[in-house]
Amino acid sequence: MEIVKKIARWVLKKELEELEGKNFNFMNNNSRLSKMLYGERKVILSPLLLKTIIEMLPDPNRVGMGYLTSDDLIFRVKFVKEMLNGQEYIHTLKFVKTIGAENESDIKGLVVNISNYDMNVFIPLRRENVSYEVFGVQTAIDTYFWDFYMAGIRMLSKEAWELSTSFIRAQTNVMKEFRESGLL
């Protein structure tokens, strides 16, 4: 009887390990597909870049109602000058992709590309029903909004942005030198 219990435990243990492996693979594939579709989350931006993205975004209600299509949005491009450590950089911000459901007028979000950083920022379009009461009368409104919280956008101060970008540039230069000298 003890042998049967040991064999049963061993079989159950193997089945559990196999199920955990499948679940891990599913979660890993789901995460990878999400990154491919929407880009990376928790994007860190400077105040200037965030301000420019906000200026580029169209009225969310016009987009949500289908008055603007993906063809209307693809041509929106902004150029921004940014001074970092006394050096001027010109960034190109443009919509590179619209995320939709069935047709091109059913937009669920936009992907903005920032050229110099080769960064894609996904900004989802959400619909929310807002209800309120005025003089005893219940009213509800459906409204669309650009969901920056869901986009995972974080903003650094100008000084912190300059420090982090100068560190990344220095790190890139060191790695480039190591590769050229054959150390990597």
Is the CB of residue 43 less than 8 Å from the CB of residue 59?
Answer: no
pLDDT in tens, 36-89: 555 556 788 888 888 999 998 999 988 888 888 777 777 788 898 888 778 888
Lowest mean pLDDT among 2-16, 140-154, 162-176: 2-16
pLDDT in tens, 15-40: 767 776 665 555 555 556 555 555 55
Q: Residues of the chain with pLDDT > 70: what percent? A: 84
The overall average pLDDT reported for the chain is 79
Please give the average per-residue pLDDT across 98-122, as a whole number.
79
Q: pLDDT class for 168, splitting at 50, 70, 90?
A: confident
Give the type of residue at 81. Answer: K
Query: In the chain, where are the structural domains located?
Result: 1-38, 43-157
Q: How far apart are CA 83 and CA 176, in angstroms?
A: 24
3-state SS of the chain is: CHHHHHHHHHHHHHHHHHHHHHHHHHHHHHHHHHHHHHCCCCEEECHHHHHHHHHHCCCHHHHHCCCCCHHHHHCCEEEEEEEECCEEEEEEEEEEEEEECCCCCCEEEEEEEECCCCEEEEEEEEEEEEEEEECCEEEEEEEEEECHHHHCEEECCHHHHHHHHHHHHHHHHHHHHHHHCCCC
- pTM value? 0.65
Please give the average per-residue pLDDT across 149-159, as a whole number.
82
Query: What pLDDT is attached to residue 129?
Result: 85
Contact residues for 131 (Cβ-Cβ < 8 A; gap 6+): 138, 139, 140, 141
Structural tokens at position 29:
């594939």
Please give the average per-residue pLDDT across 134-157, as a whole number.
83
